[in-house]
Amino acid sequence: MPQYGCGACELCVSGEHIHCQHSIDPYAYCDSSSGRATYAQYCIKQDWLCLPIPADISYGHASMAYCGLGPTFNAMQKMQVNALDTVLISGLGAVGLGGAVNAIARGARVLALESQPFRAELARSIGVEVVINPNDPDKLQQIRELTGGHGADKSVEASSAESAPAFLVEATRARGQITSVGWGGPIRAAVLVGKGQSFHGAWHWNHLVDAEAMFRTIRTSKSLLGKTISHTFPMTRIKEAWELQLTGERGKIILHPWAE
């Protein structure tokens, strides 16, 4: 799990260490100068934040519990997404694609906003019903037409675009819910209050409460994860992997630290 919680405060002992206000400095305990990095064969981490990987889950799929599935898994938990929901996801990078997997795993209908053709097609291949270009001037009308005129039941912001959070408030129905895992711009409280919506901030999931639910999601989504993970590289080819990352022509890239 990310971050270095103190392990003693109320947030840490309840499984919400990601929000710990007293994080420790791992470098104070060893002579490493780079041990926080995870693009590596080894990193420094408290043992209580290292969850054992079940034998029936591969390393590649288990790694998706971090940024691949983790932030949007928390979003789904907060909003209690289920098979009766239409979920709108803003942004189909690796995090947003993970959001699609999480929503589909719960039986929800999924719509998305994405301008990059490769990601849009990848999303459709895993079950996203409609992908709308966020640059289309009539995108709000398209969403309303797809949702009986009401807007999405629940929305997830995963693009970190400045205008995305405010747009999702507009695109989500009255009494609906929006969760931002991105770090985008402001929302208008007047619109949020007027529509009686709930807006959540989400980072990572509760490792004490939700570990089994996360592993269950991975188990039931192996075929979807197989498509979402578009490329794998050994650590020795990290430069090539990063150059591909910058093109946008990829889903989730997995680095194998011990592969040649």
Confidence (pTM): 0.93
User: Which pLDDT score, from 0 to 100, does residue 69 have?
Assistant: 96
User: Which pLDDT score, from 0 to 100, does residue 206 have?
Assistant: 94
Q: How far apart are CA 250 and CA 165, in angstroms?
A: 24
User: Which pLDDT score, from 0 to 100, does residue 80 have?
Assistant: 98
Q: Does domain 67-201 have CATH number 3.30.70.1150?
A: no
- Assess contact for 178 and 172: CB atoms under 8 A: yes
> Which single residue is written with the structure tokens 């940024």?
67
User: Which pLDDT score, from 0 to 100, does residue 205 have?
Assistant: 93
Give φ, ψ of 36 to 5 degrees: -75, -25
pLDDT in tens, 141-181: 999 999 999 999 999 999 999 999 999 999 999 999 999 99
User: Which pLDDT score, from 0 to 100, does residue 187 have?
Assistant: 93
Provide the 3-class DSSP secondary structure of residue 257.
coil
Q: How far apart are CA 41 and CA 221, in angstroms?
A: 27
User: Which pLDDT score, from 0 to 100, does residue 40 have?
Assistant: 85
For the chain, which residues score pLDDT lower than 70? none
Average pLDDT of the chain, as a whole number: 94
User: Which pLDDT score, from 0 to 100, does residue 201 have?
Assistant: 95
User: Which pLDDT score, from 0 to 100, does residue 48 have?
Assistant: 92
Name the CA radius of gyration of the chain, rounded: 19
User: Which pLDDT score, from 0 to 100, does residue 32 have?
Assistant: 78
